[in-house]
Amino acid sequence: MIAHDPLAAKHARYVLTPWAAQGGLDLPVIVRGEGVYLYDDAGNRYLDLTSGLIAVNLGHGHPAVLAAMHAQIDRLCFSPPAWFNDARAELGEALSRIAPWGDEGARAFFTTGGAGANEDAVKFAREITGRPKVLAGYRSFHGSGAGSATLTGENRRWFNEPANVMGHVVHFWAPYPYRSPFFTADPAEETQRALQHVTDVIAAENPAMVAAILIEPVVGSNGVIVYPAGYLAGLRALCDRHGILLILDEVMTGFGRTGSTFASETFGVVPDLMTFAKGVTSAYVPLGGVLVRERYATAFDAKPLPGGHTYSGHPLAMAAGVAAIRAYQEGGFFTRGRAIEQWLRAGLEAVREKYEIVGEVRGVGAFFAMEFVASRETREPLVAWQGASLGVMPALFAGLRKRGAYGFGRYNVMHVAPPLTISDAELDEGIAIIDAAVGDLAAAHAA
């Protein structure tokens, strides 16, 4: 605990911090945000290299979104979710217009975050198809709620396993070109091998029992893994063949992160349901939801929708969402990731060339990661798996913090996903800080 800062001491004493062992946390107390910067109570500035948790896509304090929130606060702060509401109607329409279904459109069901959205999407898919099973990737994160953690493939699921409240969830391996069990020198062959694996899993599980495949179009918190060309299209074709619904979890990839409004557009794959959260309000108000393609939303015209929450379609979140979508559109931020991609790829590749511990730089749009290795040749991870530990990240985060930046990552992978509003000069500043912090890490591991 930081004894010299009474606010930090108070935080440590009274607040449980996510995913962390609580003893000895030594963290700044953030009190203000502006643009791409966060400020602590001592006045220190931190460049936000990962848009908070890859969510604050419009930067901190976008004035138009704040103005819309202020106006909504003055007018109405709660509206019963089972009645209609003006702001909710506006956001439903705005989402349908930017969703990947063209004139067919979609209907939105609102939650307060991504975990709930995935749980509700699975519930809807089961109702629509009348089938129980859901396939999800091992290298996935779909939330830490009881159901969403069961859908999650990686070890954050383990905490939940004794309770395992969501049944009929089956995991499969998707490609990870840098470390893939499907790897061949030919990406097309790798895609085929990975698709054959899913084909076999579906056959073994009985296709008539499978309601949905749930997948992040780019693996997010497990390392920004961009699938080889044709993989998502192949999943779409498998779903079509067996009457399985494709649910894209666009919680991290949505709202401009990959250089298009949604990753479904970036990769040319049309889902049946889509989950979203984070960037929908630039994370200013907690909001998530499920977009259900119109042809499937009609399943609930005659029978009741199986779900609802006190805060479904909360007016303040709705107003923030409507204003955020307008801000993305008016500022060109849905596609600004394409320019940021060039900048990040060049800048981070230059860092990779300097330090042997950087095994790979990968990403799409404004969504990048750096993977650290002990040997480029063998691709052995820089630090071995240590259960619940965060690998090399605590040391790297401390280095970033010392140099005025905030970042996010897990084990041997550091994310770089700045707000889409970042200027070229701020990108340069970010790359220079990353360069220095990775340099420290390399020196520590060389010692």
Q: In angstroms, rounded to a whole number, what is the distance separating the alpha carbons of residues 408 and 17? A: 15
Apex 435 CA angle, 378 and 403, nearest 5: 130
Please tell me what DSSP assigns to residue 228: P
Which of 383, 377, 76, 368 has the alpha carbon at shortest distance from 219? 368
Q: How far is the CB of 152 from ligand PLP (least distance, A)?
A: 8
Q: How far is the CB of 54 from ligand PLP (least distance, A)?
A: 7
Whichever of 256 and 288 has its CB closer to ligand PLP, that residue is 288
Whichever of 88 and 142 has its CB closer to ligand PLP, that residue is 142
Whichever of 114 and 256 has its CB closer to ligand PLP, that residue is 114
Whichever of 277 and 382 has its CB closer to ligand PLP, that residue is 277
Whichever of 114 and 175 has its CB closer to ligand PLP, that residue is 114
Q: How far is the CB of 148 from ligand PLP (least distance, A)?
A: 6
Q: How far is the CB of 306 from ligand PLP (least distance, A)?
A: 20
Q: How far is the CB of 241 from ligand PLP (least distance, A)?
A: 26
Whichever of 140 and 191 has its CB closer to ligand PLP, that residue is 140
DSSP 129-145: H---EEEEESS----SS
- Assign 359 to helix, strand or coil: strand
Give the tokens for residue 187. Answer: 């990406």
**Burial bucket for residue 425 (CB in 10 Å: 0-12, 13-18, 19+):** exposed
Q: Which residue is nearest to ligand PLP (CB)?
A: 114
Give the tokens for residue 377. Answer: 């040749």
Binding residues for ligand PLP, rule: CB under 6 A, are 53, 113-115, 118, 141-143, 216, 220-221, 249, 251-252, 277, 288
Q: In angstroms, rounded to a whole number, what is the distance separating the alpha carbons of residues 410 and 403? A: 20
Q: In angstroms, rounded to a whole number, what is the distance separating the alpha carbons of residues 445 and 396? A: 12
Q: Cα separations (Å) of 127 from 151, 245, 261? A: 17, 11, 28
Q: How far is the CB of 305 from ligand PLP (least distance, A)?
A: 20
